[in-house]
Amino acid sequence: MSKGLGHSTRAVSASWLAAAIVVAMALAGCGGRGGRRALVLAGSTSVQPVAELIAEHYEVEHPHHSVNVQGGGSTAGVRAALEGAADIGMSSRALKPDEVGLEPIVVARDAVVLIVHPSNRTTDLTPEQVRAIYTGRITHWSDVTGPKWSSDDRRDDIITLVTREEGSGTRSAFEEGVMAKADITPRALVQDSTGTVRAIVASDPNAIGYISLGMVSSEVRALTYGGVQATEETVEEGTYALARPFLLLTRGAPSGEAGQFIRFALSDEGQQLVVRAGYLPVRRLDP
Amino acid sequence: MTVARREKAIERALLVSALSAVSMLALIAAFILIEGAPVMLRHGISSFLAGTRWAPTKGSFGILPMIVASVVVTLGAMVIAVPLGLSCAVFLAEIAPRRAANFLRPAIQLLAGIPSVVYGFVGILFLVPLIRENLGGPGLSVLAAVVILGVMVLPTLIGIAEDAIEAVPRTYKEGALALGCTHAQAIRRVILPAARGGIIAAVILAMGRAVGETMAVIMVIGNAAIIPCSVLDPARTLTSNIALEMGYAAGDHQKALFATGVVLFAFIMVLNSIATMRIVRGRR
């Protein structure tokens, strides 16, 4: 063989080698869990991160089990559990009256909390006020709290409205809980994560946003909603209105591997993971 | 194996690699068309392109606000980038001593290497509060996106424009100087007009870069799906629309995002073909 061809063969075999490494890595990643059929969870994208966290720890404790967590939305989760496409459905809303034949198990709770800048004078908003703000009917803080300054320059008083993107679980919980079919004004700033909503509210004195209770930090101030503060107790009692359950759904009473997973989710360890993911546990934990 | 045969085999192999890149493009184009076109046709192309209400989970798919925002933001970025970039290109090609140019050129290219999320981060931490406190509004605005993009496209613009200026035959400049022009007159009256084709191509490629930029824009523009009435209003570009909502989108919502991609693809194709035509014409 001539020298020239030798060079090109070397180049070609190098690229084959690279391809082989990529394929091998992919195979190792996918096939590492052995050939057993995995336990499939599908549904709400709000429950998904919690379920993934629980699944991760469940797999550590049960090395021979593998869990596959998929999204798709609450409605898809209900359907998947009914049709048997998933062993466990996930839903971030209560079952509707026509969704029968499923065993709902509450594994966590979430509350959506309205947050403002710490310097904001507002402490409470009624459901009507929140709706008026988010539909864009109220645009100035002075219309909520009374005039902020004696001057009549209202430019510095405009509410900076922050919302989540269409399709977000937090947004749909907020819309169902507050908006009563009314649309959030398109003038609202849209952010695709809880973190950025919180960051904007923390830096803009006129901003208002909504996030999960577990994500509230000291950079922002949580408002009471209809006079009720969101806490573990008020959410559990049902007096705080903007709350929703995180459900795991099985067809009939949970049994076998699905039952084992759900028991793990309700165990002390599982509930600690719920707290770590930023949501409220359903069982009180000993400190 | 004879030498001739070996040559043939190598040529074939090269042809296959060349085609694989093109077929990748064709596949991607076909894929987003197949995914995006049906929802566009079902809701009517005109109500998709000219509708002003975007509420995909409620069945409204109007992307006019996003089209307007993409155009406005891109043109705005050019208002900042063209004067800056062009003067920089002229300086590098004509005025700067060789040593200075050799230092400046890599520095400018380094600007292209900064990840766009870093631009966005700087925008959020520095530019957005600056706008909110001094000009009013929420700060997350068209203006913030315009400034960030204006800086981001500079390397593209400067690089291509400088090449175009340097490609002007030396004799043009020498002739102009021999006729008594000053250096500045020669640049303005002779060199820049001669490099026009390439400079326009540089501007258009920079526009393509601006239209396509996603991460930095999503972080600073506020993403409200409205037609902005002032530069201090928030807006949402085509790219940020896709990136913002793709996470949870399903069904028609997801298809509508692909349809947004189709529109974006058309935008970029038009811009790139204009640029290619300009470059080809400039060479003749």
Mean pLDDT of chain A: 83
- Give the mean model confidence (pLDDT) for residues B81-108: 94
Residue B34 lies in a domain: no
List CB contacts (< 8 A) between A171 and chain B: none
Residue B267 lies in a domain: yes
The predicted structure's pLDDT at residue A154: 57
pTM metric for this prediction: 0.79
B184-201: per-residue pLDDT in tens? Answer: 999 999 999 999 989 999
What is the C-alpha to C-alpha distance for residues A220 and A225, in angstroms, rounded to an integer? 16
Residue B134 to chain A, least CA–CA distance (Å): 11
Residue A1 has pLDDT above 50, yes or no: no
Number of structural domains, chain B? 1
What is the C-alpha to C-alpha distance for residues B200 and B80, in angstroms, rounded to an integer? 15
Q: CB count, 10 Å around CB of B206? A: 30
Residue A215 to chain B, least CA–CA distance (Å): 20
Residue B166 CB contacts under 8 Å (≥ 6 apart), including other chains: B93
B47-61: per-residue pLDDT in tens? Answer: 999 999 998 888 889
Q: Which residue has the higher pLDDT, A50 or A3?
A: A50
The predicted structure's pLDDT at residue A147: 60
Nearest residue on chain B to A43, alpha-carbon basis: B248
The predicted structure's pLDDT at residue A74: 82
What is the C-alpha to C-alpha distance for residues A184 and B111, in angstroms, rounded to an integer? 39
- Give the mean model confidence (pLDDT) for residues A265-283: 89
The predicted structure's pLDDT at residue A181: 82
Residue B40 lies in a domain: no
Burial A68-89 (b: 16+ CB within 10 A, else e): ebbbbbbbbbbbbbbeeebbbb
Contact flag B10-A8 (C-beta cutoff 8 Å): yes
Residue A190 CB contacts under 8 Å (≥ 6 apart), including other chains: A163, A164, A165, B222, B223, B224, B225, B236, B244
**Distance (Å) of CA B82 to CA A48, A58, B186, B208, B227:** 47, 57, 20, 14, 25
Residue B129 to chain A, least CA–CA distance (Å): 8
The domain containing residue B58 runs over which residues? Answer: 50-283
A204-237: per-residue pLDDT in tens? Answer: 999 999 998 888 889 999 999 999 999 888 988 8
Helices marked H in B96-141 — which ranges?
A: 98-113, 116-122, 128-135
Do residues A69 and A41 touch, judged by C-beta distance below 8 A? Answer: yes
Cα of B190 vs its chain's centroid, Å:
28
B130-169: per-residue pLDDT in tens? Answer: 999 899 888 999 999 999 999 999 999 999 999 999 999 9
Mean pLDDT of chain B: 92
Identify from B5, B133, B248 which residue to disrupt to test chain A contact, counting A C-beta atoms within 10 A and taking the largest count: B248
What is the C-alpha to C-alpha distance for residues B1 and B8, in angstroms, rounded to an integer? 11
Residue B27 lies in a domain: no
The predicted structure's pLDDT at residue B1: 62
CATH number at residue B69: 1.10.3720.10
Residue B210 has pLDDT above 60, yes or no: yes
Residue B64 to chain A, least CA–CA distance (Å): 13
- Give the mean model confidence (pLDDT) for residues A11-30: 63
The predicted structure's pLDDT at residue B68: 95
Residue A162 has pLDDT above 70, yes or no: yes
Task: Pull the structure tokens for residue B281.
Answer: 């014409």
Closest among B130, B136, B153 to B203, alpha carbons compared: B153
φ/ψ region of B12 (left if φ > 0, alpha if ψ in -120 to 50, else beta) reads alpha
| Banded pLDDT at A32 (limits 50, 70, 90) | very low
Residue B32 lies in a domain: no
List CB contacts (< 8 A) between A160 and chain B: 138
Residue B141 lies in a domain: yes
Residue B177 lies in a domain: yes
Q: Which residue has the higher pLDDT, A100 or B217?
A: B217
Residue B3 CB contacts under 8 Å (≥ 6 apart), including other chains: A2
List CB contacts (< 8 A) between A156 and chain B: 136
What is the C-alpha to C-alpha distance for residues B102 and B99, in angstroms, rounded to an integer? 5
- Give the mean model confidence (pLDDT) for residues A29-44: 69
The helix or strand, by DSSP H or E, that contains position A90, with its residue range, turns out to be: strand A88-91
Residue B102 lies in a domain: yes
Identify from A141, A166, A194 which residue to disrupt to test chain B contact, counting B C-beta atoms within 10 A and taking the largest count: A166
pLDDT-above-90 percentage for chain A:
40
| Banded pLDDT at A15 (limits 50, 70, 90) | low
Q: Is the ipTM of this complex over 0.85?
A: no
pLDDT-above-70 percentage for chain B:
99
Of the candidates B128, B243, B245, which has its C-beta nearest A166's C-beta?
B245
Closest among A246, A191, A249, A166 to A214, alpha carbons compared: A246
Task: Pull the structure tokens for residue B15.
Answer: 């042809």
Closest among B47, B53, B260 to A184, alpha carbons compared: B53
Is A169 in the B-facing interface, judged by CB distances under 8 Å?
A: yes
Q: Which of A22-26, A102-106, A255-259, B165-169 has the lowest mean pLDDT?
A: A22-26
Closest among B239, B69, B83 to B141, alpha carbons compared: B69
A-B contacts (CB, under 8 Å) = 83
The predicted structure's pLDDT at residue A195: 86
